[in-house]
Copies of this chain bind each other. A is one copy, B any other.
Amino acid sequence: MSKTLTTRAEDYAQWYNDLVLRSGLADYSAVRGCMVIKPHGYALWENMRDVLDRMFKDTGHQNAYFPLFVPKSLFEAEEKNAEGFAKECAVVTHYRLKTDPNNKGKLIVDPEAKLEEELVVRPTSEAIIWNTYKGWIQSYRDLPLLINQWANVVRWEMRTRLFLRTAEFLWQEGHTAHATRDEAIEETRKMLDVYATFAEEYMALPVIRGVKTANERFAGAEDTYCIEAMMQDGKALQAGTSHFLGQNFAKAFDVKYLDKNNKQEYVWATSWGVSTRLIGALVMAHSDDSGLILPPRLAPLQVVIVPIYKGDESKPGVDAKCQELMQSMKALGIRVKTDNDDSTRPGWKFAEYELKGVPVRIALGVRDIANNVAEVARRDTKEKMSLSLDGLAETVNKLLTDIQKNMFERAVQFRDERITEVDTWEDFVRILDEKPGFISAHWDGTPETEEKIKELTKATIRCIPLDAVEEVGQCILTGAKSMQRVLFARAY
């Protein structure tokens, strides 16, 4: 690591960008708003995907794959959904390039290869999927239909940021069909819980489960549930959403089923998704000025062993011990490697693995071996320990569990300290700047007030928490009566 990162205190946004680029998570690309996910970032995504995929399958879902393109006429069928996404659609209009007659070696769009109907690059797949479901659902025996898709989607965002907001991103989108309203709502809530469990137990990221206000709802949904997390700069980040779609898509695409009484009924729907945005959340929630701090359960590499040689004659002995230690860890299922690259020095390696967020680093030299110990450094606290080589694999395995736990607890404490109850407009405005975080406050329930507060402060209602208690109060802006507090924050 030749130069240090911008610190969080200096410039949080710059720190984030520096970190994502320098730790090898992602890179900019030649395509406006699109990024390259580099091997370290993709390995992290693979681990996240594999855990989520297992959770989806354990709750009865199957994967499938639907087309990238949505014909315009299908796209516009569900009016609210179409309206919500129309402004950010990449549109395919032609299917061929040809040689530019005026410019050797260059290509132009062939005007004769214009599509009769334009194709939208999917910003989300409800339209193409519900059009397909029409052919798959006839009777109650075909329900519930529980399908998930891992895919890329495109939303032409004007202002993009690595992982957090990119024109193309990777995600999963679940699309389910049910016989009853209650069953669909149950599914919506179940998948919200799956997301919350994943965020807390794997990402070590505490989240608040809630429901969005009408203003912030998914286009075409009756209700949008969400998990909201807190970043180190006090901004909120929506980490996943689960939508109860009612019968909107079933009606738009005429998807009915024959119920047990031989009656035709419209189907009830849900959709839910998380994306590579989660990587941004992971980085922003846990990392420090030295680099990434990755939770052990998701880290591509959990432990790195760095041999410390003292002259060439020490190499075989140190290498053998490192090898032995590595094998004993692999036997426990630990993701570990030994870095015995001669071309870089141990100090450089230490900084590099710190930057990449490897949870545990072990340094092992001649003197350590003589003393039957190794120097073990944990990434989350930067604490260094001299630990016995006897049973070190088991010790490190426990340490990984401790790190995972500590990261979560630290994030919970940080988050909880940044939830402030506020009862006046003056306090609301002051706290937003003085102590950024979630503000728990009363709101009169109208979209107009929510919009006005956003205009005045850039704060939005992140959610109405599911565990909110009934409490009579007055809206911080209008003073009108309110029955419960909601959570405000400035957000990513």
Q: Which A positions have Cβ atoms within 8 angstroms of B? A: 27, 29-31, 34-39, 41-43, 45-46, 62-72, 74-76, 79, 82-83, 86-99, 105-107, 109, 118-121, 128, 131-132, 135-136, 141, 147, 151-152, 154, 156, 168, 170, 343
Contacts and interface: CB of A to CB of B under 8 A. Distances in A.
Contacts of A42: 62-65
A174 to B, nearest CB: 13
B66 A36 contact: yes
Nearest to A105: B79
Nearest to A103: B76
A147 to B, nearest CB: 7
B65 A147 contact: no
A119 to B, nearest CB: 7
Contacts of A35: 67
A141 B27 CA distance: 20
A107 B90 contact: no
Nearest to A136: B27
Given A86-B98, A105-B76, A34 B69 contact: yes
Nearest to A104: B79
B168 A36 contact: no
A67 B106 contact: no
Contacts of A154: 68
Given A29-B67, A91-B92, A92-B92, 20 more contacts: A30-B67, A30-B74, A31-B71, A34-B69, A37-B64, A39-B62, A43-B63, A67-B168, A68-B152, A68-B154, A76-B105, A76-B106, A86-B97, A86-B98, A87-B96, A87-B98, A91-B95, A91-B109, A93-B94, A141-B343
B72 A107 contact: yes
A91 B89 contact: no
A258 to B, nearest CB: 14
A27 B132 contact: yes
Q: Could you tell me the dominant secondary structure of chain A's interface residues?
A: mixed
Contacts of A87: 96-98
Contacts of A170: 65
Nearest to A147: B39
B43 A62 contact: yes
A62 B90 CA distance: 30
A87 B96 CA distance: 5
A343 B260 CA distance: 13
8 contacts: A30-B71, A31-B70, A34-B67, A39-B62, A42-B62, A72-B97, A86-B98, A89-B95
Contact of A96 (B27, B29, B64, B86): B86
A92 B94 CA distance: 7
A132 B63 CA distance: 31
A124 to B, nearest CB: 14
A151 B168 CA distance: 13
Given A43-B62, A95-B156, A34 B89 contact: no
A72 B108 CA distance: 8
Given A36-B67, A76-B106, A135 B27 contact: yes
A93 B95 contact: no
B93 A88 contact: no
Contact of A128 (B31, B37, B89, B93): B31
Contacts of A86: 96-99, 107
A314 B457 CA distance: 70
Contact of A121 (B92, B98, B120): B92
A107 to B, nearest CB: 5
Nearest to A85: B97
